[in-house]
């Protein structure tokens, strides 16, 4: 089911400096089949507690907090300083003095991001809804009102999310202009899982959750430091519906000190990323046996998608000359999902590996021409 909001002030984005997640194709597949209106005079029952973990992001903290204070409705903001060595204490103290809704606590030593997240979400947040917002990100106008409106009206929805604009160093400021509608889709947890496939579609800065359900499900897992958010959204989907907006809800800042960015950019870390997402699926599906309809099919579909993604990563590693990495990723894919060996990408990869890099480089132009002619390979397709 989808819904159309008439919002004041609503949101659209012009001159977007970078890509938006989830991509437009994800939302284009949704049809609007149920419309309802919301305007600024509507009384919103729910309130939002916003947890802002901060480590060494004092230079971004003020913009982050001010973007939340400009929202309605909010209850409180908690800045959790994980022993930052920069000017975070000074900036946070000034923000507390300016607005009674802002609270600040500081760790005497670094606890790490997982413990910090769980402290805020499980021990502190008490409003109807909660948002975990990194100090280097910030919200766009109307984000919380849209989320609260949808979840107030749809008690079956456990969390909502929407696109986030990626802002890289040197990009122009985000330009926000008025628009008359923001579209939302309400889907079942199973629909969300199927739509996600092997990917994490949820920018954490946009994910507003029901606080009571968050406490019921528990916190982020320490054994999944880089994919814990992906596992969290699957866990929510296993217990309720999901709301997805088409309008950008937040800005995700890309810079050299991003923990997540530094984890993924290095080519040699592709395999650890794939392995951790495989661990996400194992943890989720092993724990969801009694709650999800059609569990075996969902498991095959998601794990198969991850295996195919791994095969393409092995292709890229091969063509970049990283043959050892190629072999390791291919081995991971086959062990994760043996039927991947029947797929066209695997057969092509096997041909490349048998020929060797130099011979394949010589043959590649002719192979590309054959592919354009839709030359058929006698292989079977993957089945979900």
Q: What is the dihedral sign for C-alpha 135, 140, 145, 150?
A: negative
| 171 and 205 within one domain | yes
Structure tokens at 382: 């993957």
Instruction: Tell me if the pTM is above 0.85.
Output: no
Both 285 and 210 in one domain: the answer is no
Q: Are residues 320 and 289 in the same domain?
A: yes
- How many domains, the chain? 2
Q: 250 lies in which domain range?
A: 2-257
On whether residue 377 sits in a domain, the answer given is: no
Is the residue at 163 inside a domain?
Answer: yes
For residues 194 and 226, membership in a common domain is answered with: yes
DSSP 375: P
Look at residue 381 and tell me if it is in a domain.
no
Do 84 and 187 fall into the same domain?
yes
Within-domain flag for 214: yes
Q: Decide if 95 contacts 62 (C-beta within 8 A).
A: yes
Report the pLDDT value the prediction gives residue 101, as an integer from 0 to 100.
96
Higher pLDDT, 281 or 12: 281
pLDDT in tens, 319-363: 889 999 999 999 999 999 999 999 999 999 999 999 998 888 887
Phi, psi of 100 (to 5 degrees): -70, -15
Tell me, yes or no, whether 24 and 114 share the same domain: yes
| pLDDT band for position 14 (cuts 50, 70, 90) | very low
Alpha helices in 39-106 (DSSP H): 58-69, 88-98
In a domain, 231, yes or no: yes
Helix (H) or strand (E) holding 79: strand 76-81
Whether residue 303 sits in one domain with residue 209 = no
Tokens of 42: 């509507």
Residues 186 and 293 occupy one common structural domain: no
- CB-side exposure of 42: number of CA atoms within 13 Å? 18
Q: Do 220 and 90 share a structural domain?
A: yes
| Closest by Cα among 197, 102, 212 to 155 | 212
Instruction: Give residue 133's Cα distance to chain centre.
Output: 12
Per-residue pLDDT at 1? 56
Whole-number Å distance between alpha carbons of 298 and 282: 12
Same domain for 283 and 208:
no
pLDDT of residue 44: 59
Q: What's the mean pLDDT when you consider all of the chain?
A: 83
SS3 101: coil
Question: pLDDT-derived band of residue 27, with 50, 70 and 90 as boundaries?
Answer: very low
Residue 369 host element (H or E): helix 357-372
**Regarding predicted confidence, which is higher, 244 or 42?**
244
In the chain, % of residues over pLDDT 90? 66
Q: Is residue 384 part of a domain?
A: no
**Once rounded to an integer, what is the mean pLDDT over residues 129-155?**
95
pLDDT value of residue 361 = 84
**Predicted local confidence at residue 75, as pLDDT:** 87
Residue 201 within a domain = yes
From 224, 257, 290, the end of a domain falls on 257
Assign 231 to helix, strand or coil: helix
Taking alpha carbons only, the member of 136, 155, 181, 177 closest to residue 5 is 181
CATH of the domain at 138: 3.90.550.10
Note whether 115 and 105 are within 8 A (CB).
no
Query: Are residues 35 and 164 located together in one domain of the fold?
Result: yes
Tell me, yes or no, whether 168 and 54 share the same domain.
yes
Boundary-marking domain end, from 207, 235, 257 = 257
pLDDT of residue 175: 66
Final residue before a domain boundary, out of 257, 284, 300: 257
- Asked, for residue 117, whether it belongs to a domain, the answer is yes
Query: Cα(103)–Cα(236) distance, rounded to whole angstroms?
Result: 27
Please give the Cα distance from 357 to 149 (Å, whole number): 56
Q: Radius of gyration (Cα) for the chain, nearest Å?
A: 22
């Amino acid at each position: 089911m989808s819904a159309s909001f008439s919002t004041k002030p609503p949101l659209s984005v012009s001159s977007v400096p970078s890509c938006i997640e989830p991509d437009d194709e994800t939302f284009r597949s949704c049809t609007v089949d149920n419309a309802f209106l919301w305007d600024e005079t509507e009384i919103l029952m729910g309130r939002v507690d916003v947890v802002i973990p901060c480590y060494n992001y004092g230079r971004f903290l003020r913009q982050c907090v001010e973007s939340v204070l400009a929202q309605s409705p909010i209850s409180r903001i908690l800045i959790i300083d994980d022993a930052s060595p920069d000017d975070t204490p000074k900036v946070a103290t000034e923000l507390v003095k300016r607005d009674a809704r802002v609270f600040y606590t500081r760790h005497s030593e670094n606890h790490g991001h997982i413990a910090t997240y769980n402290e805020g979400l499980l021990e502190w947040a008490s409003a109807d809804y909660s948002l975990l917002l990194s100090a280097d990100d910030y919200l766009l106008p109307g984000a919380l009102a849209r989320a609260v409106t949808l979840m107030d009206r749809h008690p079956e929805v456990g969390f909502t999310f929407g696109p986030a604009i990626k802002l890289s160093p040197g990009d122009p400021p985000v330009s926000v202009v008025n628009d008359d509608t923001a579209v939302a889709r309400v889907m079942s947890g199973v629909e969300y899982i199927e739509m996600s496939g092997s990917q994490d579609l949820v920018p954490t800065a946009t994910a507003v959750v029901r606080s009571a359900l968050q406490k019921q499900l528990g916190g982020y897992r320490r054994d999944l430091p880089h994919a814990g958010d992906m596992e969290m959204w699957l866990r929510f989907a296993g217990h309720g519906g999901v709301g997805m907006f088409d309008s950008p809800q937040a800005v995700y800042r890309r810079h050299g000190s991003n923990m997540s960015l530094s984890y993924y950019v290095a080519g040699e870390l592709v395999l650890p990323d794939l392995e951790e997402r495989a661990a996400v699926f194992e943890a989720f599906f092993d724990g969801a046996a009694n709650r999800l309809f059609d569990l075996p099919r969902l498991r095959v579909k998601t794990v198969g998608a991850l295996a195919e993604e791994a095969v393409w990563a092995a292709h890229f590693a091969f063509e970049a000359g990283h043959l050892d990495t190629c072999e390791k990723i291919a081995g991971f894919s086959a062990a994760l999902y043996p039927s991947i060996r029947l797929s066209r990408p695997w057969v092509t990869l096997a041909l490349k590996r048998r020929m060797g890099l130099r011979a394949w480089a010589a043959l590649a132009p002719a192979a590309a021409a054959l592919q354009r002619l839709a030359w058929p390979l006698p292989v079977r397709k993957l089945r979900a």
